[in-house]
Amino acid sequence: MTEHIAQSFPENFLWGGAIAANQAEGAWNEDGKGPAISDAFRGGIVGGTFDDTIDENKYYASHEAIDFYHRYKEDIALFAEMGMKCFRTSIAWSRIFPNGDDAEPNEKGLQFYDDLFDELLKHGIEPVITISHFELPLNLIRKYEGWKSRKLIGFYTKYAEVVFKRYKNKVKYWMNFNEINHFHTIPLAAGGIVVQDDEHKLPTIYQASHHVFVASALATKLCHEMIPGAMMGAMLSLSPIYPNTCNPDDVFDAYELRRRSLFYSDVLLRGYYPSYAKRIWKEHSIKVQMEPGDEQLLREHTADYLGFSYYRSTTHKAGMPILGNTGGIMGLDNPYLDKTPWGWPIDPKGFRYVCNEMYDRYQKPLFVVENGYGSHDEILEDGSIHDPERVDYLNKHLIQLHEAIEDGCEVLGYTWWGPIDIVSAGTGEMKKRYGFIYVDKNNDGSGTLERRKKNSFYWYQKIIESNGKVLFESQK
């Protein structure tokens, strides 16, 4: 490493961690909370089973999760001990509006997040809040078919206005929809969209996407009006897609596939529909229904920053089936990369690639709001948990993030996905562990829920305390 490269991260860099309400809180039907789409999945939102009716005789991992709802003070104390500067979580929509279309919000739900944010701020931890993180109220699917219906724009903006008014003195960093580009790969979880057949799939997804874009613009407008100085982000899953070979067909097909994701950030950050989308609509006979004023809203109320998740990269061959899960597009193996125990390629340099790709495209701040390593953990006889692979993943990705910052990318912060073990969104498992903090819970729901620090806890603590300097010392 050359001497002119800074050996630490920018001053006031937001080091933190990230979870989602549906994967951590539990208390799925307490204090007036209504059922959400996440409450009806067994075995994860990708390969699992979605039940039209929640069956009390079946096991749903999210119903208790890690009981963060009742244990958040204990967990936040651990986050503070780690030194975290920010904490990303989501507000469960159905805690605030149990059915999504209720006339009045649920006060007990609002009070919970008041208490949660107060606890974070007491410890000097900045809340980073996602308004909708795969937690659409179940009633909005049953009654309106999710984001297929334009009526959801009104329900969402009412919900957003309520939380902005309530938490305007507590939250400065917001995001509308988690991994919005997953409308294509996991439409049911991301948008409450039930696609009946392939013929109607793309028209349905693009129409629902338009409704979400308008809702995002309206919420962004409200945020800027109600909370001066607040920042509203767009949030995407952005793993790079490499061509599988240098065959021009593979190169261009991978490029077109990438644009299917960037369609969402193009609209939300640039404020208009890109020209390539219009060709897609023409070739698939898609006629997106818009109302007068929609496109002006998109232009005038763009996102302030791009939040994104990064876990892995993939390779794509022209003509192959396009599949995806919570980590992004699933293509062909890259022989140059190792994998996690769950088969996800480990590609730290791809992290730097994505940061540069996005900053070159938008020239807006980036916020890494998910990056992490899912693996098995074993408690040794002395009670310790050694997780060197997690530490290695963290180190390599942070070094590449630092390189991206040196390249000129403006990065607000970094939140490790799952600073504490939570239910896997993709598989519904507990044994797929991301955390620096172990939670004693098993896939079948058994366990004491005891929290225990892993070795990685102490390492991340050192990284934050030194503002990243310790990473470069360890490389010498």
CA atoms of 324 and 311, how far apart (whole Å): 13
Q: What is the largest CA-CA distance in the chain?
A: 66
**Rounded Cα–Cα distance for residues 220 and 33 (Å):** 26
| pLDDT at 474 (0 to 100) | 63
pLDDT, the chain, mean: 95
Residue with tokens 């997040």: 113
pLDDT given for residue 330 in this prediction? 84
331: left (phi over 0), alpha (psi -120 to 50) or beta: beta
Confidence band, pLDDT 50/70/90 cuts, at residue 5: low
Which percentage of the chain shows pLDDT scores above 70? 98
Beta bridge partners of 379: none
Q: Is it the case that residue 1 has pLDDT exceeding 50?
A: no
pLDDT tens digits, 327-361: 788 889 999 999 999 899 999 999 999 999 999 99
Residues 6+ apart with CB under 8 A from 300: 217, 221, 271
Q: What is the pTM of this model?
A: 0.96
Domains along the chain with CATH numbers: 14-474 (3.20.20.80)
Among all residues, which ones are annotated catalytic?
179, 370
Quick: pLDDT tens for 282-310. 999 999 999 999 999 999 999 999 999 99
The angle subtended at Cα 288 by Cα 286 and Cα 293, nearest 5°, is 160
Binned at pLDDT 50, 70 and 90, residue 476 comes out as low
Q: Which two tokens stand for residue 245?
A: 């070979």
Question: How far is it, in rounded angstroms, from Cα 264 to Cα 209?
Answer: 8
DSSP code of 323?
E
